[in-house]
Amino acid sequence: MAAPVVYPAKGQSAQQQQSDQGECHAWAVQTTGVDPAQVATQPTQQAASQPGGERLRGAARGAVGGAAIGAIAGDTGKGAGVGAVVGTMAGGHRARQNQANAQQQGQAQKNAQIDTYYRGYAACLEGRGYTVK
């Protein structure tokens, strides 16, 4: 997300613009409760999961399914073993997908917070005669 560009539409000096931007930054942080510098340095939210949890559940589901197929084929143990391996792989894929989804949600949340700050910052500067894009 790019920072807005501020233009002194009423002939404000560079010194006045710098002062106004500092004051509007402080006002936006206080009003919105969002400091973009802190938000940008926060780690993206990670999915809360137990290591191997999805793989273990996948292995269990696979073993049950494999045992059922093995019973039909006449070798329950072999079917359960194959099912457990396949289930473990599927569980690992699910765990990676869950992690990717959690990271995307965390980044979207960060972007929304920064956008809230920029709306407040722009409102303050526009009230002081600047054009903000």
Number of domains in the chain: 1
pLDDT in tens, 43-84: 865 545 555 566 667 656 665 665 556 566 565 566 556 666
Q: For residue 19, is it within any domain?
A: yes
Domain that residue 120 falls in: 6-40+50-132
Question: Looking at residues 29-35, what average pLDDT do you find?
Answer: 96
Using pLDDT thresholds of 50, 70 and 90, give the confidence band for residue 18. very high
Which secondary-structure segment (H or E) carries 6? strand 6-7
Is 1 a domain residue? no
pTM beyond 0.85: no
94 contacts: CB under 8 Å, gap ≥ 6: 54, 58
